Structures are given as structure tokens and as C-alpha cells.
Structure 1
Amino acid sequence: MSPHTPPGPPPVTPAPFPGGEQGAGTHILADLVGASRLDDPAHAETVLRDCAQAAGALLLYVHVHHFGRGGGVSGVAVLAESHISVHSWPEYQFAAVDLFMCGAAEPNKAIPVLQAGFQPERIIAQELVRGRGALIPTPGDYGPELPAGWPLDPADPLSLQAADLTER
């Protein structure tokens, strides 16, 4: 690292997940239904900052855009471990939140902060392991060779094939 390179997080090492899976990080998709204060950009920024702190993540930058009177917000907290984003529709009392983090950060610890900050009637959440097999290949993953009978045409440059995704 040169003296001009800002310090950053350590390189990503595969994190163990339930069931023995390994991946780059955890991505929680949270839908806030019946939520409030979704049109207040200063409040959204505070909630993003509090989520990062609760998750044990290193906050690098926050930006929130307000879509005007009566409109919602779109905001992102850029983290050393990835990001937290919020997109709100106050007219529907709905917000979509992404919490994606790697390393030792724990995005699930931000859920109570979302609950307290936006007071939704309910939160519908999905948790995904991102980078599964990307850092440590697992048996059954497709490498450059696709399985026989794969339905994509290798002669078609628009076909999405595992072998050529890095060449585009």
C-alpha cells in the first residue's frame, strides 16, 4: 500500500454461513410496509447512519435525495463493507431497503433500527448469501464449461454464458 492509499477494510475473506455455505457477504432485502417519516431526507440520513453503526460497519459516505414536497427519498450509505440503501414511497407508506455487508459487519442488527426509525406495521425481509462459490468454488458450480444441453446458443453474442461474462 502506498502512502497515498487511504486505509480500507482488510481483503474480503469468505465468511461462513448457516449450513456451511461460504460467500462474500450477506444481503438483506427489507420491505417496510405501513411505514412513516418516509418523506423526510434528514430523518432518512439519520436512520442510515444509525443502521451502519448498529451493524458494526464503517460508514464512508451518505447521500439522500428528496423528490420534493410529498415525495419520497432515495438514499445510500456507502460502507467499507458495501452499502445500505433506502427508496421510499410515502404515498404508499412503503420503503424498500437493501442491507449488503461483508466481513464482520452484521446487517441483521440494523433491522431494529429500521423498525424504530420508520415504525412500519410490518417488515418483510429476505436474506441472501452473496458471492456463494465465487471466493471458494463449491462442487456443482459451473466454471467456464457449461453443462451439456445448456439452452443458450454459444454462437449468439447476446447469450449470457458463464464462460463469457467476464469478457464483456
Structure 2
Amino acid sequence: MDGLHLTADLRGCRCDGTWLTDADRLLARCVALVQTAGLQAVAQLAHTFPATTHGPGGVTATVLLAESHLCVHTWPEQRGATLDVYVCNLGADHSAKAHQLLSSLLVLFDAEQVQQQALQRGSVSP
């Protein structure tokens, strides 16, 4: 069960606004970034939420990986996004690939404020 779970909360995204509102475009970029990082996409799903009185609806883009998953949620009315990259390291250490994937997404969204966290998962104490 050993794995690495990376998250990032982004505020003030200076990217082109369509990255926050176009689910299909975001998903296609996520799949490309997964491949560039050397991870294997096995399924994908995108969803657009309805617009509200606060602005356009956000999107969720999820890529199921052979190694685990990538999930991106956006809040265009706040120019915000959350990123979630989890890789299992059973049989091989995919940590560097996870970090590369997260870094590529951070470049894409170009946020003014980024709060990142890393969690080692599945470690069992003796």
C-alpha cells in the first residue's frame, strides 16, 4: 500500500480562464501531462458544473492511473483550483513522476498563492 499523495490548493490562478471552465480541454491536458510524466492513464472523466449567480461553473477532471489517480477541481469565480495526485509505489517508486505531474499542473494554472502538502500513505509502524 505504500504511496505518495500530493495536494495543492491554488488561489489567484492567472492562467487562461478556459482552463478553469472547459472540462474537455482540461482533461485532455491532464492526460497529456500524465503521459509526459511517465505515468499510465487507464480511464478518464470530466464534468462541468452549472453556472451560478457567482459566475461560470467549475469543472472536475479525473484521470485514473495504473499507479492510482489525478483529480483537478476548479472554482472559476474565485480563480481557484485544487490538485490531487496519488501514486502507489508497490513494485516501483513513482514519487518523482508524481512530483513532475504536480509541477506541470502548477505551471499550467500559474497561481498567485499555492499551498502544497505531501503525505506518505500506507506506511505501517512496526
- TM-score, normalised by the number of residues in structure 2: 0.80
Q: CA RMSD in A?
A: 1.7
Provide structure 1 residue ranges, at least 5 long, that are not aligned to the other structure.
1-22, 140-168
Query: Aligned to 1:40, which of 13, 22, 25?
Result: 22
**Change over 3 Å in CA distance of 1:41–1:94 after alignment to 2:** same
User: How many residues of Structure 1 are paired with residues of Structure 2 in the alignment?
Assistant: 113
In 1, Cα distance between equivalents of 2:100 and 2:36: 6
SS in 1 for 2:20: coil
Look up the match of 2:74: 88
In 2, Cα distance between equivalents of 1:63 and 1:42: 9
**Change over 3 Å in CA distance of 1:124–1:98 after alignment to 2:** same
In 2, Cα distance between equivalents of 1:54 and 1:101: 15
Is 1:131 aligned to 2:117, yes or no?
no
Larger strand proportion of the pair: 2
Contact 1:81-1:101 at 8 Å conserved across structures: yes
- TM-score, normalised by the number of residues in structure 1: 0.61
Query: Aligned to 2:48, which of 50, 55, 66?
Result: 66
Look up the match of 1:114: 105
Is 1:76 aligned to 2:76, yes or no?
no
In 2, Cα distance between equivalents of 1:123 and 1:58: 26
1:118-146 deviations in whole A, cap 9, x for unaligned?
2222321100001011xxxx33xxxxxxx
Look up the match of 1:98: 84
SS in 1 for 2:21: coil
Larger Rg: 1
Contact 1:88-1:96 at 8 Å conserved across structures: yes
Provide structure 2 residue ranges, at least 5 long, that are not aligned to the other structure.
none
Q: Which has the higher contact order (CA 8 A, sep 6+)?
A: 2
Look up the match of 2:3: 25
In 1, Cα distance between equivalents of 2:102 and 2:49: 25
Q: What is the deviation of 1:46?
A: 2.4
Contact 2:3-2:121 at 8 Å conserved across structures: yes
